[in-house]
């Protein structure tokens, strides 16, 4: 955030000197695009804090940590309204590159608002079974929420600095979330060992909710890739049989070669 404009006055009070004032120093006012970008990055931080609170709440069986999720979800809803209104009133007055950034902010807040809804749904379900969950389920759901927190941290870094490496980390992390979902589903739905399981219906629902939240974070990483490269990642995936990571690394090598 830009500091507030301030005045500074220096007085010369030596013998025979008159009192003089220096010029008033002011920072440049924040533009509409800068304000919207700042709000969008803050929205990422809110979602990140929500995921961290869920991880802590599940790990410690703390309902107080889970209850703050409603405040985070309400703040994301408020930011969604503010950013939508601001983009609508600003986008026709800016350059084409700035317009692309504003559209990215609009897509970001849409995904973040959905993430907030999903995490709140998770919390509402977790509140009913928190004290009766198996330790393995506690461990796995805590890890899934922590991965989502880390993914959001990487998205924030990528969007703020236009870095592509954090986007690749997000895509890898999303694959890990998918693997964990499959593992939990196998344990509770297929149950090959025929072991008694606690609250399987709720655990499966909660697992699926976190997996969907991870998908939305992945969408954010893909949006940063599109903003930076001006190419659709999903279009590239359809056009090639190469794994995405190999394609992405090929693109980065070409970028580096072009700088030499």
Is it the case that residue 7 has pLDDT exceeding 50?
A: no
pLDDT tens for 167-195 read 889 999 999 999 999 999 998 887 666 66
Tell me what pLDDT residue 193 has.
67
Is 30 or 96 the better-scoring residue by pLDDT? 96
Domains of the chain in start order, with CATH, are: 32-232+242-251 (1.20.58.220)
Separation of first and last alpha carbons in the chain = 35
d(CA 236, CA 163): 19
d(CA 58, CA 26): 48
Tell me what pLDDT residue 232 has.
59
Tell me what pLDDT residue 199 has.
77
Whether the Cβ atoms of residue 74 and residue 117 lie closer than 8 Å to each other:
no
Helix (H), strand (E) at residue 249: helix 244-259
Tell me what pLDDT residue 19 has.
43
Confidence of residue 74 (pLDDT cuts 50, 70, 90): very high
Q: State the average pLDDT for the chain.
A: 83
pLDDT tens for 77-92 read 999 999 999 999 999 9
Distances (CA, A) of 46 to 78, 112, 121, 147: 12, 9, 16, 16
Is 245 or 122 the better-scoring residue by pLDDT? 122
pLDDT tens for 12-23 read 344 444 444 444
Q: Is the dihedral of CA 134, 131, 190, 118 positive or negative?
A: negative
Q: Is the pTM of this model over 0.85?
A: no
pLDDT tens for 188-243 read 887 666 666 667 889 999 999 999 999 999 999 999 988 988 875 555 445 444 55
Tell me what pLDDT residue 236 has.
46
Helix (H), strand (E) at residue 72: helix 63-90
């Amino acid at each position: 955030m830009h500091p507030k404009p301030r005045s500074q006055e220096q007085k010369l009070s030596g013998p025979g000197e008159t009192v003089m004032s220096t010029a008033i120093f002011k920072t440049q006012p924040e533009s509409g695009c800068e304000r919207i970008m700042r709000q969008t990055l803050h929205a990422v931080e809110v979602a990140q804090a929500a995921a961290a609170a869920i991880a802590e709440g599940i790990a410690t069986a703390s309902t107080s940590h889970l209850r703050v999720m409603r405040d985070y979800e309400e703040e994301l809803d408020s930011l969604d309204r503010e950013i939508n209104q601001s983009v609508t009133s600003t986008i026709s007055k800016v350059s084409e590159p700035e317009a692309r950034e504003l559209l990215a902010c609009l897509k970001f807040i849409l995904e973040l608002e959905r993430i907030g809804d999903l995490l709140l749904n998770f919390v509402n379900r977790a509140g009913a079974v928190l004290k009766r969950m198996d330790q393995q389920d506690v461990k796995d759901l805590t890890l899934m929420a922590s991965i989502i927190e880390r993914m959001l941290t990487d998205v924030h870094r990528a969007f703020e600095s236009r870095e592509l490496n954090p986007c690749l980390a997000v895509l890898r992390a999303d694959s890990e979330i998918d693997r964990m979902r499959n593992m939990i589903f196998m344990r509770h739905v297929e149950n090959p060992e025929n072991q008694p399981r606690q609250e399987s219906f709720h655990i499966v629902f909660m697992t699926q909710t976190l997996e969907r939240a991870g998908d939305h974070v992945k969408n954010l990483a893909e949006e940063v890739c599109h903003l930076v490269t001006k190419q659709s990642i999903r279009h590239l995936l359809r056009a090639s049989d190469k794994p995405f990571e190999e394609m992405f690394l090929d693109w980065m090598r070409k970028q580096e070669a072009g700088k030499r």
